[in-house]
């Protein structure tokens, strides 16, 4: 057993993680420092997911553990959780007519643990609502998800509406989901596509100009 | 003298002989019967890993018949004249070697409405009128309920699961376990049936039962007429991988993935408990329909969901038991592998020879052929996206390449990879034509 919170989170030793966090808080350690260690640990989980050492079971357990840890730390953070400036803002939505949320949820989580400020506005989102969110949140990247083949038409319509509002200068659009490939990307007029969550991270990093 | 126990091979041959000859089918005329036998024989050859006269071609359709006939997806689930028109137009216009039947296209929408079905959104009801039905993923079973499911699956289904997935069936949670009936003490069990709430459920069940029977009879007629015109159906029964039963609509993806980490033993025990029920249900359906094919869509064991080790530990044992048990009854499980299985081909080839079909979506077909060749028939994998975005010529080129690469030697069926809805007619036509014109052995 180690006292290294970063390592324990990376290894997903759930019991050890919780007792370490409790210990640190009891000892009066700066909660922001604890939070920072948690973030570093989760980043390592993301790396192991990228290297295909971890899969959804580990990733989803990490999400739960992080929620539990945050519930412990949040009350200690006086003056609120001062969110660090992220790498950039990403808006995620599953297009209208499609209610699949597993893929978009994974992409959101993996982008978050890689330092992006992610706004996942849910499933079955009409183009107008996506446009309103782009105007309000001003994201650098928009990620659109579609699982159904019929949603390919909705992807196309959504991107046309974004273009029609003159917003395309300000955002790059990536798409993902079961039926998505290069041909669909060209067909609907997106900037690029990704086969998995890590590809979404690579695209977003490229577009906001970090490596 | 004891009757000789039939081997798997003997049972399968018997089942297939009946199915290929069209035993019990009312054929329109001799020509239709001959066409049926030719098509069914082609499929049998593919399963037996022999070379038929040409590569069989069987599009895996979802709502495509509706799109082709110009009806809405919604109408398929409400207006069975339109369902009939769509199914017949599709099969008679495209002349595939087999079709998937009307059951998957048109489950009765008014029955779903009447029971307050919450598990799915369907066209016109939570989904747009021209979009396929979609499962509403939630945690319908809580982690602490594993013991209930393990100890008494039927009781869990009746008193916990049904009330949660259908609002009008909620009062079923007021029932007592039927095992409470102990001789004279049958009366406590009877009491809840006296309440207006439970009585309303019974009334609802009687009404939807009648509607479902009427629907079943109607689609039986529709499918019967299509079969009688010379087209076999590639769906005799339905099963799932035990893992997916727990994952898809009980614990949900996130729930089950966490269970792998936090409560692996409970998850395994629950899968073991429900496996015999899956086998029994599929065998019953296939024998009733006199059709050897058991359709098994595979979801949460794909490459991107879990590691090889996790697949081997959690997903495969249950699925393998289902597959093997079905083949022992002479049936042919048809695994519809959604997503990709590139990292598991060596694991899944441990199945009885010449007894299964693996329909691939995003799996590399040449690798599949390499690993499963000599063991199982493979089917696929023209992508649904390609059938929407490509031209007929592009589709033909893709299909030709597939045939060149994986058809030689037999044991291959040309089809799309994921079920199709709004594909272009000319591309589906191109896929079928390629098998007929280019797929000769």
Tell me, what's the pLDDT at B107? 85
- Rounded to whole angstroms, how far apart are CA atoms A180 and B419? 15
Closest CA relative to residue B329, chosen from B23, B4, B15 = B15
Q: Length of chain B in residues, anyone? A: 441
H-type helices in chain A, by residue range?
5-10, 14-26, 31-50, 56-73, 102-113, 127-137, 151-164, 182-188, 197-208
pLDDT level of residue B239 (50, 70, 90 thresholds): very high
Does B397 contact chain A (CB < 8 Å)? no
Q: Are A119 and A137 in contact (CB under 8 A)?
A: yes
Residues of B in contact with A61 (CB under 8 A): 257-258, 261-262
Three-state DSSP class for residue B68: helix
- Rounded to whole angstroms, how far apart are CA atoms B168 and B117? 8
- Rounded to whole angstroms, how far apart are CA atoms A25 and A20? 9
Treating both helix axes as pointing N-terminal to C-terminal, what angle do B264-289 and B316-328 enclose, rounded to 10 degrees?
20
Of all helices (H) and strands (E), which one includes residue A144?
strand A141-145
Burial B332-370 (b: 16+ CB within 10 A, else e): bbbbbbbbbbebbbebbbebbebbbbbbbbbbebeebbe
Closest CA relative to residue B388, chosen from A200, A155, A164, A162 = A155
CA–CA distance from B200 to each of B168, B259, B268 (Å)? Answer: 8, 37, 37
pLDDT tens per residue, range B19-46: 999 999 999 999 999 999 999 999 999 9
Tell me, what's the pLDDT at A36? 87
Does A56 contact chain B (CB < 8 Å)? yes
Residues of B in contact with A96 (CB under 8 A): 128
Residues of B in contact with A56 (CB under 8 A): 253, 257, 304-306
- Rounded to whole angstroms, how far apart are CA atoms B110 and B108? 6
Q: Which CATH class is domain B8-107+212-438?
A: alpha beta
pLDDT level of residue B106 (50, 70, 90 thresholds): confident
Residues 6+ apart with CB under 8 A from B165: B117, B118, B119, B140, B249
Q: Is the sign of the CA dihedral B159, B160, B163, B165 positive or negative?
A: negative
Q: For residues B113 and A83, which has the higher predicted lDDT (pLDDT)?
A: B113
ipTM of the prediction: 0.92
**Within chain A, which residues score under 50 in pLDDT?**
none
Contact B257 A184 (CB under 8 A): no
Residues of B in contact with A196 (CB under 8 A): 304
Q: Are A114 and A43 in contact (CB under 8 A)?
A: yes
- Rounded to whole angstroms, how far apart are CA atoms A80 and A71? 13
Tell me, what's the pLDDT at B93? 98
The answer, yes or no, to whether residue B170 has pLDDT greater than 60, is yes
Does A156 contact chain B (CB < 8 Å)? no
pLDDT tens per residue, range B46-90: 999 999 999 999 999 999 999 999 999 999 999 999 999 999 999
- Rounded to whole angstroms, how far apart are CA atoms A90 and A143? 7
Mean pLDDT of B222-229: 98
CA–CA distance from B281 to each of B11, B102, B262, B332 (Å)? Answer: 18, 20, 31, 15
Q: Give B421→chain A minimum CA distance, Å.
A: 7
Mean pLDDT of B113-120: 96
pLDDT tens per residue, range B273-325: 999 999 999 999 999 999 999 999 999 999 999 999 999 999 999 999 999 99
Burial of B190 (0-12, 13-18, 19+ CB in 10 A): exposed
- Rounded to whole angstroms, how far apart are CA atoms B395 and B386? 7
Three-state DSSP class for residue B278: helix
- Rounded to whole angstroms, how far apart are CA atoms B98 and B196? 48
Q: Tell me the domains of chain A and their CATH numbers.
A: 5-76 (1.10.1240.10), 89-208 (3.40.50.280)
Does A141 contact chain B (CB < 8 Å)? no
Three-state DSSP class for residue B293: strand
Closest CA relative to residue A208, chosen from A108, A115, A141, A128 = A141
- Rounded to whole angstroms, how far apart are CA atoms B77 and B124? 10
pLDDT tens per residue, range B132-157: 999 999 999 999 999 999 999 999 99
Does A126 contact chain B (CB < 8 Å)? no
In this complex, how many residue pairs, one in chain A and one in chain B, have their CB atoms less than 8 Å apart?
93
Q: Which residues pair with B336 in a beta bridge?
A: B297, B359
Tell me, what's the pLDDT at A150? 87
CA–CA distance from B85 to each of B67, B69, B133, B161, B212 (Å)? Answer: 12, 7, 20, 36, 20
The answer, yes or no, to whether residue B400 has pLDDT greater than 60, is yes
- Rounded to whole angstroms, how far apart are CA atoms A21 and A10? 14
Mean pLDDT, chain B, as a whole number?
A: 96
Closest partner CB to B134 (pick from A55, A60, A99): A99
């Amino acid at each position: 057993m180690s006292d290294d919170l970063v390592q324990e989170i990376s290894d997903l030793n759930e019991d050890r993680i919780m007792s370490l966090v409790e210990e640190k808080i009891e000892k009066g350690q700066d909660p922001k420092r604890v939070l920072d260690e948690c973030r570093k640990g989760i980043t390592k989980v993301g790396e192991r997911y990228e290297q295909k050492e971890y899969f959804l079971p580990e990733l989803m357990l990490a999400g739960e553990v992080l929620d539990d840890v945050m519930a412990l730390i949040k009350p200690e953070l006086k003056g609120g959780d001062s969110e660090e400036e992220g790498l950039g803002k990403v808006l995620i939505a599953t297009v209208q007519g499609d209610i699949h949320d597993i893929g978009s949820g994974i992409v959101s989580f993996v982008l978050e643990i890689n330092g992006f400020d992610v706004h996942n506005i849910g499933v079955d989102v009409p183009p107008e609502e996506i446009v309103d969110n782009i105007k309000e949140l001003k994201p650098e990247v928009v990620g659109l998800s579609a699982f159904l083949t019929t949603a390919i038409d909705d992807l196309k319509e959504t991107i046309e509406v974004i273009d029609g509002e003159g917003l395309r200068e300000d955002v790059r659009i990536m798409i993902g989901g079961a039926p998505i490939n290069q041909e669909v990307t060209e067909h609907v007029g997106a900037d690029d596509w990704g086969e998995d969550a890590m590809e979404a991270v690579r695209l977003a990093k490229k577009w906001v100009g970090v490596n | 003298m004891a009757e000789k126990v039939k081997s798997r091979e003997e049972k399968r041959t018997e089942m297939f002989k009946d199915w290929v000859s069209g035993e019990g089918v009312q054929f329109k005329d001799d020509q239709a019967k001959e066409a049926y036998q030719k098509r069914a024989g082609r499929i049998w050859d593919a399963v037996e890993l022999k070379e038929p006269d040409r590569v069989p071609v069987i599009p895996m359709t979802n709502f495509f018949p509706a799109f082709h006939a110009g009806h809405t997806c919604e109408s398929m689930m409400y207006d069975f004249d339109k369902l009939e028109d769509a199914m017949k137009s599709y099969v008679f216009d495209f002349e595939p070697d087999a079709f998937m039947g009307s059951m998957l296209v048109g489950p009765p929408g008014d029955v779903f409405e009447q029971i307050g079905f919450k598990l799915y959104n369907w066209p016109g009801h939570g989904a747009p009128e021209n979009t396929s039905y979609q499962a509403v993923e939630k945690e319908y079973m809580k982690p602490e309920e594993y013991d209930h499911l393990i100890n008494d699956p039927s009781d869990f289904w009746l008193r916990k699961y049904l009330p949660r997935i259908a609002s009008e069936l909620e009062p079923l949670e007021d029932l007592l376990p039927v095992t409470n009936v102990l001789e004279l003490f049958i009366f406590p069990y009877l009491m809840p049936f006296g309440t207006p709430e439970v009585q309303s459920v019974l009334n609802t069940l009687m009404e939807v039962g009648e509607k479902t029977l009427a629907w079943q009879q109607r689609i039986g007629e529709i499918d019967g007429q299509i079969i009688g015109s010379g087209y076999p159906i590639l769906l005799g029964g339905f099963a799932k991988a035990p893992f997916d039963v727990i994952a898809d609509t009980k614990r949900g993806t996130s729930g089950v993935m966490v269970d792998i980490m936090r409560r692996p033993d409970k998850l395994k025990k629950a899968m073991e408990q429900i496996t015999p029920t899956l086998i029994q249900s599929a065998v019953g359906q296939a024998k009733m329909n006199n059709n050897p094919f058991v359709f098994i869509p595979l979801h949460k064991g794909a490459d991107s969901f879990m590691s090889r080790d996790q697949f081997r530990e959690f997903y495969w044992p249950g699925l393998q038991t289902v597959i093997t048990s079905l083949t022992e009854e002479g049936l042919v499980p048809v695994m519809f592998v959604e997503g990709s299985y590139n990292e598991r081909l060596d694991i899944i080839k441990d199945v009885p020879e010449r007894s299964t079909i693996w329909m691939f979506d995003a799996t590399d077909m040449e690798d599949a052929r390499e690993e499963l060749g000599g063991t199982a028939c493979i089917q696929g994998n023209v992508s649904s996206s390609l059938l929407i975005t490509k031209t007929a010529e592009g589709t033909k080129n893709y299909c030709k390449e597939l045939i060149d690469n994986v058809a030689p030697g037999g044991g291959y069926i040309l089809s799309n990879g994921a079920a199709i809805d709004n594909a272009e007619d000319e591309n589906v036509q191109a896929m079928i034509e390629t098998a007929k014109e280019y797929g000769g052995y």
